[in-house]
Structure 1
Amino acid sequence: MGSLSSRVLRHRGRTQVQPEPGSGAVGSARGPRTGGDTPGHGFCYCPGSLKRKRSSGAFCYCHPDSETDEDEEEGDEQQRLLNTPRRKKLKSTSKYIYQTLFLNGENSDIKICALGEEWSLHKIYLCQSGYFSSMFSGSWKESSMNTIELEIPDQNIDIEALQVAFGSLYRDDVLIKPSRVIAILAAACMLQLDGLIQQCGETMKETINVKTVCGYYTAAGTYGLDSVKKKCLEWLLNNLMTHQNVELFKELRYYKYYTVFKELSTEWLSSVYKQQWLAMLRAEQDSEVGPQEINKEELEGHSMRCGRKLAKDGEYCWRWTGFNFGFDLLVTYTNRYIIFKRNTLNQPCSGSVSLQPRRSIAFRLRLASFDSNGKLICSRTTGYQILTLEKDQEQVVMNLDSRLLIFPLYICCNFLYISPEKRIENNRHPENPEN
Structure 2
Amino acid sequence: MGNSFSRHHAAPVVNDRLRATPLSLQTRKRHIDSVYDNPSKSSPDPVRKKRLKSTSEYIYDALFVNGENSDITIRSLGKEWKLHKVYLRQAKYFRSLYDNKWKESTMETIDLQIPDSNIDVKSLDITFGSLYSEIVMIPPSKVIPILAAASLIQLDGLMQQCAEVMKETICMENVFGYLKAASMYGLEDVCRQSISWFETNLMLRQSRELLSEMHPELLTDVVSSPNLVVIQIEMDIYTMLKKWLYLRIHPSYSGDFKSILSTADAYFHQEAESTNTFFLESEHGRPYSDVFKALRLQHIIRDFVSCRELERDRIIPWSWMSQQYRQQWLTMLRVEQSIDSGPTEFNNDTFESNSLRCGRMLLRDADHCWRWNGYSFGLDLLISYSSHAPRTITFRRNVRSQRCSSSVSLSSSRSIVYRVTVASVNDKGQTALRKSTENTPLNLQKEQEQIVLTLGGESAPDQSGTLRPWKSYFPLIVTATFQLVNDLESPELNSSGNSIKPFPCFDEETRTLGGAGVVLEDSSAED
TM-score (norm 2): 0.60
Matched, 1:387 2:442: yes
Alignment identity in percent?
A: 46
After superposition, what is the alpha-carbon deviation per residue over 1:4-38, rounded to whole angstroms, capped at 9, x for unaligned? xxxxxxxxxxxxxxxxxxxxxxxxxxxxxxxxxxx
Alignment match of 1:105 (pick from 67, 71, 74): 67
Matched, 1:160 2:234: no
Matched, 1:418 2:485: yes
Matched, 1:213 2:175: yes
Where does residue 304 of structure 2 map in the other structure?
A: none
Comparing 386-395 with 216-225, greater Cα deviation is found at 386-395
Alignment match of 1:358 (pick from 398, 413, 423): 413
Alignment match of 1:89 (pick from 11, 29, 51): 51
Matched, 1:130 2:87: no
Structure-2 change in CA distance of 1:86 and 1:306 (3 Å):
farther
Where does residue 265 of structure 2 map in the other structure?
A: 254
Alignment match of 2:339 (pick from 287, 310, 315): 287
Alignment match of 1:297 (pick from 337, 341, 349): 349
Kindly provide the amino acid, as one letter, of the partner of residue 130 in structure 2. Answer: S
Kindly provide the amino acid, as one letter, of the partner of residue 172 in structure 1. Answer: E
SS in 1 for 2:314: helix
Partner Cα distance (1:82, 1:154) in 2:
51
Kindly provide the amino acid, as one letter, of the partner of residue 303 in structure 1. Answer: S
Kindly provide the amino acid, as one letter, of the partner of residue 395 in structure 1. Answer: Q
Deviation at 1:164, TM superposition (A): 0.7
Q: CA RMSD in A?
A: 3.1
Comparing 310-319 with 331-340, greater Cα deviation is found at 331-340
Deviation at 1:107, TM superposition (A): 4.1
After superposition, what is the alpha-carbon deviation per residue over 1:178-202, rounded to whole angstroms, capped at 9, x for unaligned? 1211110111111122221222122
Structure-2 change in CA distance of 1:84 and 1:123 (3 Å):
closer
Kindly provide the amino acid, as one letter, of the partner of residue 83 in structure 2. Answer: L
Structure-2 change in CA distance of 1:114 and 1:277 (3 Å):
same
How many residue pairs end up in the alignment? 354
Structure-2 change in CA distance of 1:280 and 1:91 (3 Å):
same
SS in 2 for 1:325: coil
Deviation at 1:169, TM superposition (A): 1.9
Partner Cα distance (1:382, 1:164) in 2:
45
Where does residue 226 of structure 1 map in the other structure?
A: 188
* Structure 2 spans left out of the alignment, 5+ residues: 1-29, 37-49, 212-242, 244-256, 272-278, 280-312, 461-469, 507-512, 519-527
SS in 2 for 1:297: helix
Where does residue 27 of structure 1 map in the other structure?
A: none
Comparing 249-258 with 82-91, greater Cα deviation is found at 82-91
Matched, 1:324 2:391: no
Where does residue 475 of structure 2 map in the other structure?
A: 408
Partner Cα distance (1:380, 1:134) in 2:
47
Partner Cα distance (1:417, 1:396) in 2:
18
Structure-2 change in CA distance of 1:86 and 1:340 (3 Å):
farther
Deviation at 1:413, TM superposition (A): 0.6
After superposition, what is the alpha-carbon deviation per residue over 1:245-296, rounded to whole angstroms, capped at 9, x for unaligned? 2665524421344443535432222212211111111122342111112322
After superposition, what is the alpha-carbon deviation per residue over 1:370-398, rounded to whole angstroms, capped at 9, x for unaligned? 44444434432232223333444433323
**Structure number with larger C-alpha Rg:** 1
Question: Do the aligned residues in 1 keep the contact of 2:323 with 2:502 (CA within 8 Å)?
Answer: no
Partner Cα distance (2:70, 2:437) in 1:
64
Kindly provide the amino acid, as one letter, of the partner of residue 415 in structure 1. Answer: F
Matched, 1:339 2:397: no
Alignment match of 2:322 (pick from 270, 278, 284): 270
Where does residue 110 of structure 2 map in the other structure?
A: 148
Question: Do the aligned residues in 2 keep the contact of 1:294 with 1:384 (CA within 8 Å)?
Answer: no
Question: Do the aligned residues in 2 keep the contact of 1:364 with 1:381 (CA within 8 Å)?
Answer: yes
Question: Do the aligned residues in 2 keep the contact of 1:329 with 1:342 (CA within 8 Å)?
Answer: yes
Alignment match of 2:360 (pick from 293, 298, 308): 308
Deviation at 1:130, TM superposition (A): 2.0
Where does residue 422 of structure 2 map in the other structure?
A: 367
Partner Cα distance (1:305, 1:323) in 2:
14
Deviation at 1:177, TM superposition (A): 0.8
* Structure 1 spans left out of the alignment, 5+ residues: 1-80
Deviation at 1:84, TM superposition (A): 7.8
Where does residue 501 of structure 2 map in the other structure?
A: 427
Kindly provide the amino acid, as one letter, of the partner of residue 326 in structure 1. Answer: G
Question: Do the aligned residues in 2 keep the contact of 1:294 with 1:385 (CA within 8 Å)?
Answer: no
Structure-2 change in CA distance of 1:230 and 1:264 (3 Å):
closer
Structure-2 change in CA distance of 1:263 and 1:319 (3 Å):
closer
Where does residue 453 of structure 2 map in the other structure?
A: 398
Partner Cα distance (1:314, 1:375) in 2:
24
Partner Cα distance (2:381, 2:208) in 1:
30
How do residues 22-33 of structure 1 correspond to structure 2 at under 5 angstroms? none
Partner Cα distance (1:430, 1:108) in 2:
75
Kindly provide the amino acid, as one letter, of the partner of residue 407 in structure 2. Answer: S
Where does residue 115 of structure 1 map in the other structure?
A: 77
Structure-2 change in CA distance of 1:399 and 1:202 (3 Å):
closer
Kindly provide the amino acid, as one letter, of the partner of residue 478 in structure 2. Answer: I
Deviation at 1:82, TM superposition (A): 9.9
Deviation at 1:176, TM superposition (A): 0.2
SS in 1 for 2:266: helix
Partner Cα distance (1:86, 1:281) in 2:
92
Partner Cα distance (2:422, 2:200) in 1:
10
Matched, 1:349 2:425: no
Question: Do the aligned residues in 1 keep the contact of 2:364 with 2:475 (CA within 8 Å)?
Answer: yes
